[in-house]
Amino acid sequence: MRAAGFRVTGIVFAVLAALTTAPAAEKPNIVVIVADDLGWNDVGWHGSEIPTPTLDRLVSTGIELDNHYVQPVCTPTRVALMTGRYPSRFNLKCTTPSNDQAVPFGTPILASLLKKAGYATALVGKWHLGSKPEWGPNHYGFDYSYGSLAGAVGMYDHRYRLKSPFVHTWHRNSQLIDDEKGHASDLVTREAIDWIEKQKDRPFLLCVTFHSVHAPLVEEDRWLAKVQHVKSPDRRLYAAAVVHLDDCVARIVGAIDRAAIRERTLIVFTSDNGAQVDHGGNAYPPPDPKLRNFSSNSPLRGRKAQTYEGGMRVPAFANWTGKLKPAKVRQPMHAVDWVPTLTKRVGVEPPENAKWDGCDVWPFLIDADRAPLTRTLYWVVANRWFARRLDHPAGHHPAGEPRVQGRSGAGQSRRRARLPAPETGRGAKRNLRRRVSRQPAPGARL
């Protein structure tokens, strides 16, 4: 009996020792992939003639976000995605494409918040939240950064708009460089893969913000050969860029698979706004051809820079092997939701000064049949403002359209939009503020 007692005691101590030395629960790696100007009708899972097999596979094995909203232009979406706040909370510069410093130093953003939780952080690709090196990603919580500080670039030239003081924009860790060779999409993909291979043994945040498929478009014959069935030469060039982008995503996912970290890696994909549709050309380093009807948001009305669905409802999905079951989520979401959602997922509490406009939408990712939430989303684009109260998922409103309040943007007639006449004047602005104030509390679980 005494010997048996010693054996039991020894087993108990062994179990306790194992428990006390076991590692804490693993935090997921987070890979956020942002396409530039990708249209609703330009991905395979929306029925496009453009093949996107990698993206389609990630959608079919993950969560299709059918009502994922962003801002209708690039800088504002990036502010919303990084801060969890509507860009107009900061300044007017944040409501349009801008090369100025977008948000003040010290503003809590996704990278700085996850870094406090032990994450390695990197952004490769387009920044566009401040085009001077001293305003770059490394000053906002990113351990590593590479790509362009400004917006779109010549795909092989890597320079910004030729008449801009920020024409030289390609950098590594906020140090300008001019000796990189290759297509911007391939360079960004290379850096993403290198980061994954180096950081695979610790939790990381990797933001891959592609320049593609924003004009100017330059693609090799091997990509054009895959879309010869597209009749329009302008759209064929764009389709080649989409196919190239899809292949870049495949290479990044392949690196995750090779590192054997797929089951602990959450992948989020979105476009920064809707398709541009037409491009005037000669704005960026050549070749920068004029393009007409080259991208599409059909059947959604509108385009980039407009507050119609086509400008701000974009292709998006989330994929996490073994954690998220395949489903289509119709709950309206916005780019501002990702900061509270992702930080909540890894156990980061909101800072006292966070003032997030977004909400934790994780409950909808794990339960697509959850009752939809009534919420108001709003947009400020330059001197125009627009609020949308969504009582039902888009496309499922009893009247056929969500209720809308706001001012139409340039070229957006109310008759064409089939929307109620907007209120104007001080009363409308007060009503807008009241609606916004009734949104769920920052970081609230829905």
Q: For residues 409 and 290, state if they share a domain.
A: no
- Looking at residue 26, its pLDDT comes to 58
Q: For residues 84 and 51, state if they share a domain.
A: yes
**pTM for this structure?**
0.85
> Would residue 166 count as lying in a domain?
yes
> Would residue 236 count as lying in a domain?
yes
Q: Structural domain tally of the chain? A: 2
The residue among 338, 366, 394 that closes a domain is: 366
Please give the distance of CA 178 from its chain centroid, rounded to a whole number.
27
Q: For residues 405 and 359, state if they share a domain.
A: no
What CATH number is given to the structural domain containing 183?
3.40.720.10
The residue among 317, 337, 366 that closes a domain is: 366
For 262, the token pair is 């797929």
For 327, the token pair is 């489903």
Do 155 and 183 touch, CB atoms closer than 8 A?
A: yes
Domain ranges, residue 381: 375-437
Q: For residues 336 and 382, state if they share a domain.
A: no
> Would residue 1 count as lying in a domain?
no
Neighbours of 6 (CB within 10 A): 9
Q: For residues 381 and 288, state if they share a domain.
A: no
> Would residue 300 count as lying in a domain?
yes
> Would residue 22 count as lying in a domain?
no
- Looking at residue 444, its pLDDT comes to 34
Chain segment 26-85, per-residue pLDDT in tens = 599 999 999 999 999 999 999 999 999 999 999 999 999 999 999 999 999 999 999 999
> Would residue 218 count as lying in a domain?
yes
Q: H-helix or E-strand containing 390?
A: strand 384-390
- Looking at residue 330, its pLDDT comes to 93
Q: For residues 328 and 258, state if they share a domain.
A: yes
Q: For residues 351 and 401, state if they share a domain.
A: no
Chain segment 433-442, per-residue pLDDT in tens = 433 333 333 3
The residue among 366, 387, 421 that closes a domain is: 366
> Would residue 244 count as lying in a domain?
yes
> Would residue 274 count as lying in a domain?
yes
Q: For residues 224 and 138, state if they share a domain.
A: yes
Q: For residues 45 and 111, state if they share a domain.
A: yes
**Which residues are part of the catalytic machinery?**
74, 128
Tell me the average confidence (pLDDT) per consecutive run of 10 residues in the chain, 446 residues long.
42 36 62 98 98 98 97 97 96 94 96 96 98 98 98 98 96 96 98 97 98 98 98 98 99 98 98 98 96 98 95 98 96 96 95 90 95 88 84 40 39 32 35 37 34
Buried b or exposed e, range 302-330, using 16+ CB within 10 angstroms: bbbbbbbbbbbbbbbbbbbbeebeeeebb
Q: For residues 421 and 342, state if they share a domain.
A: no
Q: For residues 346 and 399, state if they share a domain.
A: no
Q: For residues 427 and 337, state if they share a domain.
A: no
Round to whole Å and give the CA distance between 268 and 436: 26
